[in-house]
Structure 1
Amino acid sequence: MVDQGDKLYSRQEFVKARAAFEAAEKIDPNDAKIQLKIGLTFLSSSPKFQSLQHLERAYKLDQQVDPDIHYYLGMSNQLNFHFKKAQKHFELYKERNKRMGPICDHKIEECKRADSLMNTAVSAIVKVMDWPVNSPYDDYGPLLNASEDKLIFTSARDSSFFDRRTKTLFEEIFISELKDGVWTVPQKISSNINNQFHDAAASLTRDGKTLIVYYGEGNGDLYRSDYDGVNWSKPVSMGNIINGPMSNETSGCFTPDGNKFYFASDRPDGYGGLDIYMVEKDKHGEWTNAINLGPEINTPGNEDAPFLHNDSTIYFGSDTHPGLGSYDIFKSSSINGKWQKPENLGYPVNTAEYENFFHLTEDKKRGYYASVRQEGSGRTDLCMVTFLEPEPVVQVETEPEPEEVETTQQPASDEFVDPLISLQKDLGIATALKGTVIDAQSSIPLKAQVVLIDNATNTIISRVYSNPATGQFSIDIPHGGNYGINTSVDGYLFNSMNFEVPTFSEYQEIDTHILMAKAETGSKVVLKNVFFDSGKADLKKESIGEMERILTLLTKNPNLRLQVNGHTDSAGDDALNKQLSLKRAQAVVTYLVSNGIDQERLTAVGFGEERPLVSNDDEMEGREINRRTEIEVIQGS
């Protein structure tokens, strides 16, 4: 199996190689080489961030497992936002491999800058767009018309054509429409546009009538297709001024007035790989010679996917301008005809992974782009960012290395704002929870805050928001721990869920509907994250996060009065069960009163086994469901 995996890996068939190595892992889970090989299949494909648990295990089993192990660990830690750990591994690798010094120095600088960017996160919410827009394949290049009800993008899903050289499906262009707040299942845009080679959507004019298309046949060139209200025309070349005879033109866009066209090309007169160029129409409507935007914009690396919000502001992707790693998105303004130093859009727009193909809405409140994110598929997904403040300006400077100090993790209270992805969690993803948040009575979708909390440490792991139009969200739960999911909406009781995830568990996806009850008389919520030892009534420390959420609820709603109900299963003596349930309810009340809540607002009741939710005949699951503590509103807010 290992030999088979090695052969597949050498042919760059990483997913198949991983399956072979994982089969070998089941026979010997403590083989450091096998753990290394599994980690490298992730690092070489996707989802890259899942490489960390295997590489760290390989290193723990054998620190000499591979001469390049510190470089691999540096890369994987960087992708998982552990920038100081990544920096240490790059430094160790540099000490032992002098010829890699320049590369390691570059990675170390990336980690320092990333730390700075993470500490100055912009006020924005990034959401991976929901299925069916995204798929298990790479999806990128989101283009929207001005009214944001038509989406055109590039994907390898449902492709009929296979690239024998790369052993991947050729990508094609798809279109989806927003109807009743939901994106329709994407369809191939037109047989006039998609061909048997690689096709990609490069840009769309604001009126949605002109599409710039990239065709990968030959060197790779740009074409134009126009929409007449019914059909897309057969694309025609953008011409020899834009498409060079020996160069690859990957993307391009018009200015809003249509008189200028900016595009990316690797033609030989540039500063590095892909550079951004501009052509302008003369008085006869012909394109002038292409002008390189110069060293302020272009670097020895790659600059790609230009987007002009107006004639004087350009957005683009770069793998060399100071950023968090891989491709980041940058912005530059033209003042008196001169492009200024590009500004990184900052975290959470950019991460240590890939971000590119950014398009900003006309009102500057939202941006659509492609990104590889841990809360997504692990491949390139279409994302939407909502800016909560005016457009961010993030100056990225490398600061002197600060002394390493012990950090304190954030308490799991809704009164705090935390990064979307915790920098503290080293484990891979075990469970993808995908859900819809709706009003329990009307079934109307709700915009909710969904928070994942490590109950053992009472710290927030991640925070996402459901789509206000659909109520949908997705959040990833790591291996190895007991986690609470808290969902909250103003004017509603919070919803509480609990997950116990083994350290070595198979990846799974869970779909759920979260019903939110308004904070009005008669509403109840089961406290899934309040814990007691068997037969006892003392709150376990893992319950603190849930107790703080009740405190927050009562503090935000000063007129709210609650009854805490204790319940048991049917095992044991009836009278003892009722007594135990009352003591547990009283323990919750005591905690709340000791933390400043007026005793008059709280009542404790023990029902014992009188009110089961399900039959107690199921000795495992049924009885576990019936053993519960809940809060009930006896006076609304």
Structure 2
Amino acid sequence: MPRILLIALLLLAHVAVAQNVEFEKDRFKSDKDGLKEAQREVKTGDEWYDLDPPRYEQALPHYLAAQKFNPNNARLNLRIGDCYLHSGYKPRALPYIQKAYQLNADIDPRIHYLLGQGLHLNGKWTEAIAEYKAAQPAATGKNTAAFLASISKKIKECENGQKLEKAPSRVFIDNIGAAINSPYADYGPVISADESVILFTSRRDNSTGKERDPETGGFFEDVYQSTRTASGWSPARNLGKPVNNEGHDATVGLAPDGQRMLVYVEDNGGDLNEAELRGAAWRKPEKMNSRINTRAHESSAAFTPDGRSLYFVSDKQGGIGSRDIYKVEINGRGPALNLGTTINTPYGEEGVFLHPDGKTMYFSSEGHNSMGGYDIFKSVFENGKWSEPENLGWPINTPDDDVFFVISASGRHGYYSSFRDDGLGGKDIYQITFLGTEKPPVLSQEDQLLASRAQPVKEASLAPPVPIATTQVTILKGIVTDEASKLPLEATIDVVDNSRNELIASFRANAQSGRYLVSLPSGVNYGIVVRQEGYLFHSENFDLPAGAAYSEVVKDIALKKLDVGVKVVLNNIFFDFDKATLRKESTAELERLQKLMVETPALRLEISGHTDNVGQAVYNKDLSQRRAKAVVDYLVAKGTDKARLTFAGYGDTQPVATNNTKGGRQLNRRTEFKVTGK
């Protein structure tokens, strides 16, 4: 190296070191009072920083106050950078670490690693890789192998980030607004399938205990709720007791219908509780069973659409990584099953969420092809196994932790929390709008066809305005009422697989409002049965072929009391084409009718068959009569007294809808019963 260049480099190094300014009297002769105050701030910050574990959040404001007085102290800048690296605002660490390095290149053996972290968190991939590589020679001692492995992983994350940023996801990411977000930390959103309700966790000054966490200095966590109105989200309200208590209470999961909530509590190392909504009030959360909660840390969970099983995250022993995702049947007897190495990695998984289609899982992971920290991934359960997890991409994922993502049933909107420049305070909740592959989005004005069925629901079908959804699920929702009084009923909604004659799930309408919501993944012939003690059952049919696109159907149901003259359509009775032969898919409905006859010994019924006006009237009447007789014959064969039953075929003489449309004709082709005695 030429002698002149060497001297220049040495002089530059000397200047860099000489620029470091200590908090000494000789440096600040003209402002002794300011120096004393800055020294007090540094001392207080050090007291918090040097605790075990360090209290970065408490130390940071003191260090920043001192830094305003003296911005050129390498040690102080490095500690500020380290505090930011352990905060929600990690990218802010970079200028302070760079400043510390400029002031004293030997300030810390880890300086290149810390520089790499700061650059990495700001998406400066190439520069970060260079710093990580420069940090490798500093890896000495007993932890050398672990440190080198960490550097190697960080470099790989940067390479992932480079690739993902070059092909960004087409999304809008918008702050959800002041009705939900506050000057405090707001995070962990969960939503009902139709996005009508959102619950989330916040650390606000109106928390139930109104006390601060001694470790972080922030208020204790509470659960808040907001509902969507015609003008947007309603102002969030604290759920209060019995959901929230004096300690930490955080919502981590919500059933698709919004009637069951999963709450995290700091008990037994961190456990999951379940609360049920009855009317307008949430009941006290109850601890989940020991096959879910252990002495380890169970942090997040999600219901399956049928409500029978739970996916949850735990750091219990025997896992693949530091935190794994498990699945368990809630009321079963078998142990929780680890989802295996396709999903779980040697690192951590967190924030599991199952889409209402029952097969698409979203979760966060430090492994796979993460670009840094936890990234959000998607995997689909098909042919008996989970697909290779897919990174949701930039800018949804960032080099920082991206966790606790949920998505609507339509697949159009996702929700998560993030620290961003347009935030209202601490961490805020954001809505992600997925735009799809085409630009601009095209508005669809056509209703979505739900299914081919004998008698389909003729109600408002709310098709998404942007035809980009790829989810394969139908959301059926509405209000259950008494037909006479119009008052809401807390009815039970049974979901039956007609092909298997199997009860899939049971739900309840809300006790106060009568509202219900059912998620119906595609690929099943569903029988929907609404029942309430003292009323005749009501049935609907949804035959959703595999691959049927997303749709929302609003169906308000008025239940009828058992009175003479009342008619009920049997929507889940099916016949072979142009025949009176009952199909096996009719079994569940027929058994339901048989049960009604057994439970009501004095009940007498007329079973009637009806057709549309296509074809000859004489033939249609004969066909409808033969079909009605087939139902009566089934009931008699199962033990019902023949004297309690009559049958009639009315052909097209008693239409319930116009015969001028395809939908009307479908409604007219029906089997029903009429109460003739009780």
Determine if the TM-score, normalized by the shorter chain, exceeds 0.5: yes
Mapped partners of 1:367, 1:339: distance in 2: 21
Mapped partners of 1:23, 1:258: distance in 2: 52
SS of the aligned residue for 2:405 comes to: strand
Q: How does 1:292-307 map to 2 (within 5 A)?
A: 292-307=338-353
1:222 matched to 2:272? The reply is yes
- Matched AA of 1:157: R
Task: Say whether the 8 Å CA contact 1:252–1:262 is kept in structure 2.
Answer: yes
Q: How does 1:191-590 map to 2 (within 5 A)?
A: 191-244=241-294, 246-280=295-329, 286-309=332-355, 310-376=357-423, 379-389=426-436
Paired position in structure 2 for 1:9: 49
Structure 2: which 5+ residue stretches go unaligned?
1-38, 439-678
Paired position in structure 2 for 1:119: 166
Out of 69, 79, 83, the residue aligned to residue 111 of structure 2 is: 69
SS of the aligned residue for 1:169 comes to: coil
Q: Per-residue deviation at 1:378? A: 7.8
SS of the aligned residue for 2:156 comes to: helix
Residues 90-117 of structure 1 deviation map (CA, whole Å, 9 limit, x = unaligned): 1111123242211111111111111111
Mapped partners of 1:390, 1:144: distance in 2: 25
- Matched AA of 1:60: Q
Mapped partners of 1:188, 1:178: distance in 2: 16
Paired position in structure 1 for 2:588: none
TM-score, length basis structure 2: 0.54
Mapped partners of 1:381, 1:88: distance in 2: 33
SS of the aligned residue for 1:227 comes to: strand
Q: Per-residue deviation at 1:210? A: 0.9
1:39 matched to 2:73? The reply is no
Paired position in structure 1 for 2:191: 144
Q: Per-residue deviation at 1:141? A: 1.3
Paired position in structure 2 for 1:102: 149
Q: Per-residue deviation at 1:167? A: 4.2
- Matched AA of 2:47: K
Q: Per-residue deviation at 1:37? A: 2.4
Task: Say whether the 8 Å CA contact 2:88–2:427 is kept in structure 1.
Answer: no
Task: Say whether the 8 Å CA contact 1:355–1:372 is kept in structure 2.
Answer: no
Residues 461-507 of structure 1 deviation map (CA, whole Å, 9 limit, x = unaligned): xxxxxxxxxxxxxxxxxxxxxxxxxxxxxxxxxxxxxxxxxxxxxxx
Mapped partners of 1:299, 1:96: distance in 2: 28
Out of 114, 117, 131, the residue aligned to residue 89 of structure 1 is: 131
Residues 207-228 of structure 1 deviation map (CA, whole Å, 9 limit, x = unaligned): 1111111111222111111112
SS of the aligned residue for 1:154 comes to: strand
Task: Say whether the 8 Å CA contact 1:303–1:317 is kept in structure 2.
Answer: yes
- Matched AA of 1:263: F
Paired position in structure 1 for 2:212: 162
Q: Per-residue deviation at 1:7? A: 1.6
Paired position in structure 2 for 1:176: 226
Paired position in structure 1 for 2:91: 49
Task: Say whether the 8 Å CA contact 1:110–1:325 is kept in structure 2.
Answer: yes
- Matched AA of 1:195: N
Task: Say whether the 8 Å CA contact 2:182–2:425 is kept in structure 1.
Answer: no
Deviates more, 1:14-23 or 1:324-333: 14-23
Residues 567-604 of structure 1 deviation map (CA, whole Å, 9 limit, x = unaligned): xxxxxxxxxxxxxxxxxxxxxxxxxxxxxxxxxxxxxx
- Matched AA of 1:173: V
Mapped partners of 1:304, 1:341: distance in 2: 17
Distance 1:42 1:341, change over 3 A: same
Distance 1:378 1:270, change over 3 A: farther
Distance 1:228 1:304, change over 3 A: same
Distance 1:42 1:190, change over 3 A: same
Q: Per-residue deviation at 1:73? A: 1.1
Q: Per-residue deviation at 1:374? A: 4.3
- Matched AA of 1:298: N
Aligned residues: 387
Mapped partners of 2:382, 2:227: distance in 1: 37
Distance 1:21 1:241, change over 3 A: closer
Residues 504-546 of structure 1 deviation map (CA, whole Å, 9 limit, x = unaligned): xxxxxxxxxxxxxxxxxxxxxxxxxxxxxxxxxxxxxxxxxxx
Mapped partners of 2:426, 2:159: distance in 1: 25
Q: Per-residue deviation at 1:157? A: 1.4
Q: Per-residue deviation at 1:87? A: 1.0
Distance 1:237 1:28, change over 3 A: closer
- Matched AA of 1:241: R
Mapped partners of 2:187, 2:392: distance in 1: 19
TM-score, length basis structure 1: 0.58
Structure 1: which 5+ residue stretches go unaligned?
392-637
Paired position in structure 2 for 1:604: none
Q: Per-residue deviation at 1:13? A: 3.5
SS of the aligned residue for 1:53 comes to: helix
Distance 1:331 1:26, change over 3 A: closer
Task: Say whether the 8 Å CA contact 1:279–1:287 is kept in structure 2.
Answer: no
Give me the CA root mean square deviation: 2.1
Mapped partners of 1:85, 1:316: distance in 2: 29
Q: Per-residue deviation at 1:170? A: 2.2
Larger-Rg structure: 2
Q: Per-residue deviation at 1:8? A: 2.3
